[in-house]
């Protein structure tokens, strides 16, 4: 007897090699047909980091206007079934209040892949700053949540992973994935995090992108949630990608970030947690096209499954048999604001 979910489950196991090898197989599948060439970032020549004004302020219900529910099989082979908006709302996997959006994995049904949600912004962005104010991120064994941006024709128009980690790890990994010929310098980047990989080329066999570990305190998982979450802010220019993080109780949260003032001044946010810069060995303006924002939650899959005790096989059974383990596998988001010049 081969039910559909069983089939997906088996396919997922068959696809397992090693967690590291497989991370390169990420894709955001942003568009169905057209795959434009990588482009220069329009209108960005010579623009300095500095003042940006708000162009999107997604809060509560407005997330449903700005984002689509992406209901396709998980490209990273997770034990999830991404559902459409009607299904998500009917199953209470997503709901809003005037100042929050909740996105969660199912925590009541047994058997097969677990229902989950993945949101894609309708609009694409090039140079911008963004503030993601989060109360709670998915936590628990086997969870693999992410907040990231991605272009078409992966990886040729790039991927920027802002929050990503698995399985209650205490730390968060910030990464870029690009096409060929993009290396980050091994020293000289002004950031507080520690680089763990320098080759951003995700098209070649042996690279999973360039990464920086967020070494701030309480950036991820249960630690992050226990103190009320915090803010992840980003800035993309034609020559850099930067990430800042402030915990909820941090006394030094910049006013524009904390108080949603309608503008953003990354040049005043201090040293970033992670920074990726153009150099002779990487022209970021050529590696990145227009990006959508993605908020997702998968379970097991290439990374979290690979790390699970007993491997993917055990991970998928755990997901199937233990709905109660996913009570805390939810995002509770205050706002996502995007600022442009
Ligand atoms: C979730 O986000 C990460 C971003 O790092 C991406 O690589 C992965 O493919 C996504 N997984 C799913 C299941 O959508
Ligand atoms: C959805 O879940 C939340 C949190 O558990 C709960 O407060 C709310 O009443 C639920 N809504 C419905 C319609 O079941």
Which residues in the chain belong to E strands, given as ranges?
A: 52-58, 67-69, 80-82, 94-97, 100-104, 114-116, 118-121, 128-136, 143-150, 159-164, 172-177, 194-197, 210-214, 230-236, 240-247, 263-264, 274-277, 292-299, 330-340
Q: Is the CB of 146 under 6 A from ligand 1?
A: yes
Quote the tokens at residue 268. Answer: 């005043």
CA of 89 to the centre of ligand 2 (A): 10
CATH assignment of the domain containing 28: 2.60.120.200
Average pLDDT for the chain = 86
Q: Is the CB of 22 under 6 A from ligand 1?
A: no
**164 catalytic per annotation:** yes
Q: Output the DSSP codes for 141-157.
A: TTEEEEEEEE-STTTTT
Considering only residues 15 and 88, tell me which one the structure prediction assigns the higher pLDDT: 88
pLDDT in tens, 123-173: 999 999 999 999 999 999 999 999 999 999 999 999 999 999 887 777 789
CA of 221 to the centre of ligand 2 (A): 22
User: In a mutational test of the pocket of ligand 2, which residue from 86, 92, 97, 102 has the highest number of ligand atoms less than 8 Å from its CB?
Assistant: 92
248/193 Cα distance (integer angstroms): 19
Catalytic residue among 56, 164, 235, 324: 164
**324 catalytic per annotation:** no
How many folded domains does the chain comprise?
A: 1
Across the beta sheet with 118-121, what order do the strands follow? 67-69, 118-121, 292-299, 143-150, 159-164, 172-177, 210-214, 194-197
User: In a mutational test of the pocket of ligand 1, which residue from 15, 19, 75 has the highest number of ligand atoms less than 8 Å from its CB?
Assistant: 75
Q: What is the pTM of this model?
A: 0.86
Q: Is the CB of 217 under 6 A from ligand 2?
A: no
Q: Is the CB of 89 under 6 A from ligand 2?
A: no
Residue 209 · residue 23 · CB < 8 Å: yes
Interstrand relation of 80-82 and 114-116 (parallel, antiparallel or unpaired): parallel
Atom 10 in ligand 2: residue holding the nearest Cα: 92
Quote the tokens at residue 119. Answer: 């949101």
What was the pLDDT predicted at 305?
A: 87
Instruction: Judge residue 1's burial from the number of C-beta atoms within 10 Å of its C-beta, 0-12 exposed, 13-18 middle, 19 or more buried.
Output: exposed
Q: Which domain holds residue 23?
A: 4-340
A 10 A CB-CB count for 275 gives 21
Quote the tokens at residue 193. Answer: 């995090």
pLDDT in tens, 232-261: 999 999 999 999 999 999 999 999 999 999
Find, among 45, 2, 27, 11, the residue nearest to 203 by Cα.
Answer: 27
pLDDT in tens, 280-329: 999 999 999 999 999 999 899 888 888 899 999 999 999 999 999 999 99
Quote the tokens at residue 147. Answer: 């907040």
Q: What percent of the chain has pLDDT over 70?
A: 85
């Amino acid at each position: 007897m081969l039910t559909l979910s069983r089939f997906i489950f088996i396919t997922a196991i068959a696809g397992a090699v090693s967690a590291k090898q497989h991370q390169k197989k990420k894709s955001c599948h942003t568009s169905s047909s057209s795959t434009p060439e990588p482009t220069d970032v329009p209108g960005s020549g010579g623009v300095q980091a500095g003042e940006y004004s708000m162009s999107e302020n997604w809060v509560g219900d407005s997330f449903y206007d700005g984002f689509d529910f992406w209901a396709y099989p998980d490209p990273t082979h997770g034990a999830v079934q991404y559902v459409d908006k009607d299904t998500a709302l009917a199953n209470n996997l997503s709901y809003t209040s005037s100042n929050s959006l909740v996105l969660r994995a199912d925590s009541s049904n047994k058997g097969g892949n677990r229902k989950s949600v993945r949101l894609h912004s309708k609009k694409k962005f090039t140079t911008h700053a963004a503030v993601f104010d989060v109360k709670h991120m998915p936590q628990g064994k086997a969870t693999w949540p992410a907040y990231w941006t991605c272009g078409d024709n992966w990886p040729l128009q790039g991927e920027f992973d802002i929050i990503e980690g698995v399985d209650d790890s205490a730390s968060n990994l910030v990464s870029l994935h690009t096409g060929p010929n993009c290396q980050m310098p091994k020293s000289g980047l002004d950031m507080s995090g520690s680089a763990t990989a320098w080759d951003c080329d995700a098209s070649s066999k042996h690279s999973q992108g360039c990464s920086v570990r967020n070494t701030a305190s309480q950036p991820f998982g249960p630690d992050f949630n226990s103190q009320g979450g915090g803010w992840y802010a980003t800035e993309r220019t034609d020559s850099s990608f930067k990430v800042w993080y402030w915990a909820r109780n941090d006394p030094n949260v910049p006013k524009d970030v904390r108080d949603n003032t309608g503008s953003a001044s990354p040049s005043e946010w201090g040293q970033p947690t992670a920074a990726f810069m153009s150099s002779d060995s990487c022209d970021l303006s050529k590696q990145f096209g227009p990006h959508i924002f993605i908020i997702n939650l998968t379970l097991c899959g290439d990374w979290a499954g690979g790390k699970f005790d007993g491997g993917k096989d055990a991970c998928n059974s755990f997901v199937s048999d233990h709905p109660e383990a996913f009570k805390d596998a939810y995002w509770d988001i205050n706002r996502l604001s995007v600022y442009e010049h």
